[in-house]
Structure 1
Amino acid sequence: MKKLTRSTHVISLVALLCCLVPLLQACGSTTPSNGGNGPVTITVAYQQFGPPPYHEEEWWKSAKAKIEAANPNIKVKLMPVIADEGSYYTKLDLMLRSNNPPDVVREDSFLVGSDVTAGYLAPMDSYLDKWPDYKAQWFDSMQKITIFNGHNYGVMDGTDVRAIWYNKDIFKKAGLPTDWQPKTWADILSAAHTIKKKVPGVIPMNLYSGVPMDEASTMQGFEMLLYGTKDTLYNYQNSKWVSSSKGFKDSLNFVKEVYNQSDLLGPTNDITLSTTAGNTISQQLIPQGKLAIDIDGSWMGGTWETGGSTPWPQWKDTMGLAKMPTQNGQDPKYVTLSGGWAYSIAARSPHKDQAFEVIKTAFAKDLLGKYDIQTNGIAPRKDIVSLPEYSAIPNFPFFTQLVDFTQFRPGFPAYPKISVQIDSAMQQVMNGKSPDDAMSAFTQSVESIAGSDKTEKHP
């Protein structure tokens, strides 16, 4: 599964309207054309981009056949939106604000809160409460990720997690265990320092950091640290952003040690502070045996599989996986973060009951399981794990166990702007600023973005 990035919505809505008029007219919730006595048409909108195969389309074609065979009063109309990720967000925004929106839409879980705030999505609590499979089979964390202001607005179709990838050959040369599992942050840094000393010419570790790598820096980098402290980014109990905390400062100190120019553990700035750092890490440094430790996502193996961007047959034997520990090994001992996509019902759909029937059928174990297997997505349903084809995917049993304790980004409209300020604070300490000063600048920015009454400082 590809990693999630932040949409900046820089595409001109005016320019897109011209090319989207036919698409908007083709959307959605059409009323029966034969006097109201015929079947209801439910339109399903999803992203389609790049070369085939289009697994999303394959999944929905199978679901469409099953739905229409079981429900003669429902017709399913598939509407692939041909667009890259950022353009898809913009086109979806236009469709959902139109008078004829699609009924069912694919939503980045990262943006559910923003689209709810805009009035685009319908709450699904009453439907989900009556669907035994959802309560019994979806991991609790996967149910929570689509909740905003106490209501659920989507059903996750797949997810991802983050962990520590490490090169076992390099570890062996450094005299480190090849079944490595660090218990604290100090264990990670200690291993990196050992590698630097004993295996010259190898980059000890990668931690995504800085503004150019955008959400990868925030999510794979900083939040994998912060969520392993006693502090967090958002206080859900009183609905306030945490603009200053010991955990935030400690996380910046970790970044500072990795990128200390006098004893550098991470990649040089020309690699780290580049928008292509992710490709450099996954397609060059790791396969070439030049990077020992990488805090990264569950999708990495797909890069090295046959058909991936950088086929590397030896990766299954060379690369090890460890869970990311909390700062001092305190409960729950490990931390990970998840993103992923969900399907939601448009607030303006006049056929919400039928729309939910469509979702419920498409998300059955067999159909969703096949889709997750094809897309290398981590299953949100517990029972998909029992499918032999799923368990056979390298490392998927390991990744799926992380879903039990995974956390996720605060799904509020202010988050994308606050995320940029996290990246900025990381880059500041990389460039020599003290963690105290970087956190102070972050505090001021968050108060400006969210309002001082919506922020708090932890001792």
Structure 2
Amino acid sequence: MSVSAHAQSKVVVTLAYGSEYVFDTNDFAKKWYDNVKAAFDKKYPEAEVKLVPIPGGYTDIINKLSLLYRSRSTAPDVAQLPTPALGQFQSSGWLLPLDDELATASWWTEFPSAIQSEGRFDGKVYAVSTGENDSQLYYNKAMFKQAGLPEDWHPKTWDDILTAARAIKAKVPGVVPLWLNVGTSSGDNGLLQGTGNLLNGSSDPTIQDASGKWVVDSKGLREVLTFVKTMYNEDLGDSLSDLFSPSAVTVPLTLFQKGKLAIAVGSNYYGGNWTKTICSPCWAEAPQTIGVVAIPTVSGQAPGIATTLGGWDLAVAATTKHKDYAWKLLDVMEEEQSQIDAANWAGFVPAAQSYTKSPAFVDFAPPYNAVSAEVLPYGKLTPAKAEYEVWSHALQQATGNLAQHKDMTVDKAISDMKGYVANQLGSDQMATR
């Protein structure tokens, strides 16, 4: 058989992914997917991976994959999808259930139940995690010492956070006491890295009730909005120009490095972005300068830890002609080294719990990676429904308005939230708890 004929006889499995958005650098994305292809091609010489990189940002990835999936001839056998978009793709009939294959996958049993559920619809699993984002509290130890606060800080309630921010404001002039992402500038991602964490630690974190209605007034929402109002009424937050910047979610990284920020509710990728491998120039002093702890619940109620969950998942096309090899490729991508590399290079936390304990992950960005792994099992997912974006935007608007207008009440913020959701979804789709 000629070389060309041999090549043509191989099974070709297509793999689509975001080449410019998901990983910390484009080079890391290329390196990771090249490694996946090399590992699969070596393990299964009768088959090969064809990479389908998708340039651009979050929306570009979703739009391109939507176009590809509409035709059997262009639908990728395997694709990397963001968790919030899974419902849209599954409800369109584009994804293949994976339950039979997962029944024998050793790594699947190590996923926390919340992460196993992020790709589950109507009792079947259509996608599996390839990396998660969660959130923690970061704080400047030197500023805490100057303010008379413990350098080994362990807040138990939200009031503990506000008390520390007030002490910073009083005794460390010229710095931002507390960062919390509010407003609409970062969209759902901003909620994921900001006030969504507080809601998950509130007295009632319900977003969508058992009947499927969207919660627009609850004790939990009012606790979150009261925290935001208190924070900005007392001038404990950052400037509105930073808050409403398109790159708001990454503002704390720079503020911390410049010595201009004391406390932040921030994502797990902070530590990795300060390491020698990722950043240029490196901030070698970060582990000695910036501490990290879990975000507490509102009053210290169990479990005492709060965080959001959001990540990227792997899915197989319902129309694939190579189901077995598509699964084999997905399985290769879930191997330990692949998942640890993805975590370190894209700012993820591996879903498999044994991977999070590997020195290759823990020692990549100490002490940050260890804490992000510790809080991961406590994370809560947002509903994988298209309507979630409406509810999310309503809460973003409410928090942003409270930050901008000191005379705005929590009642008015709730009323505005109700009005927006009612206008977009209908009042019959709203719930009060």
Q: What TM-score does the superposition give when structure 1 sets the normalisation length? A: 0.85
Does residue 292 in structure 1 map to residue 266 in structure 2? no
Does residue 450 in structure 1 map to residue 425 in structure 2? yes
Q: What is residue 409 of structure 1 aligned with on the other side?
A: 382
Describe how 1:37-436 pairs up with structure 2 within 5 A: 38-49=9-20, 54-100=27-73, 101-135=75-109, 137-235=110-208, 237-260=210-233, 263-283=234-254, 285-306=255-276, 307-308=278-279, 311-393=282-364, 394=366, 395-430=368-403, 431=405, 432-436=407-411
Does the aligned pair in 2 maintain the 1:168–1:318 contact within 8 Å? yes
Q: 1:192 aligns to what SS in structure 2?
A: helix
Q: 1:55 to 1:447 in 2, by over 3 A?
A: same
**CA distance in 1 between partners of 2:140 and 2:408 (Å):** 32
Q: What is residue 439 of structure 1 aligned with on the other side?
A: 414
**CA distance in 1 between partners of 2:122 and 2:207 (Å):** 14
Q: How many residues align?
A: 420
Out of 46-55 and 184-193, give the one that drifted further.
46-55
Stretches of structure 1 that go unaligned for 5 or more consecutive residues are 1-32
Task: Write the letter of the residue equivalent to 1:433.
Answer: M
Q: 1:325 aligns to what SS in structure 2?
A: coil
How far apart are residue 350 of structure 1 and its match?
2.5
**CA distance in 2 between partners of 1:219 and 1:75 (Å):** 37
Summarize deviations over 1:164-218 as a string: whole Å, max 9, x none.
1000000000000001011011111111111111222222111111122323442
Summarize deviations over 1:141-167 as a string: whole Å, max 9, x none.
321222233322212111121011000
Out of 49-58 and 125-134, give the one that drifted further.
49-58
How far apart are residue 52 of structure 1 and its match?
6.1
**CA distance in 1 between partners of 2:25 and 2:344 (Å):** 16
Q: 1:132 to 1:453 in 2, by over 3 A?
A: farther
**CA distance in 2 between partners of 1:133 and 1:439 (Å):** 43
How far apart are residue 53 of structure 1 and its match?
5.6
**CA distance in 2 between partners of 1:164 and 1:133 (Å):** 29
Superposition RMSD in Å: 2.3
**CA distance in 2 between partners of 1:105 and 1:253 (Å):** 41
Does the aligned pair in 1 maintain the 2:192–2:310 contact within 8 Å? no
Q: 1:54 aligns to what SS in structure 2?
A: helix
How far apart are residue 72 of structure 1 and its match?
4.4
Summarize deviations over 1:97-152 as a string: whole Å, max 9, x none.
123111101101121112112222222222212323312x2232321222233322
Q: What TM-score does the superposition give when structure 2 sets the normalisation length? A: 0.90
Q: 2:257 aligns to what SS in structure 1?
A: coil
Give % identity.
Answer: 30
Q: 1:92 to 1:244 in 2, by over 3 A?
A: same
**CA distance in 1 between partners of 2:275 and 2:221 (Å):** 37
**CA distance in 1 between partners of 2:172 and 2:25 (Å):** 42
How far apart are residue 451 of structure 1 and its match?
3.5
**CA distance in 2 between partners of 1:222 and 1:156 (Å):** 23
**CA distance in 1 between partners of 2:26 and 2:248 (Å):** 27
**CA distance in 2 between partners of 1:212 and 1:369 (Å):** 31
Q: What is residue 29 of structure 1 aligned with on the other side?
A: none
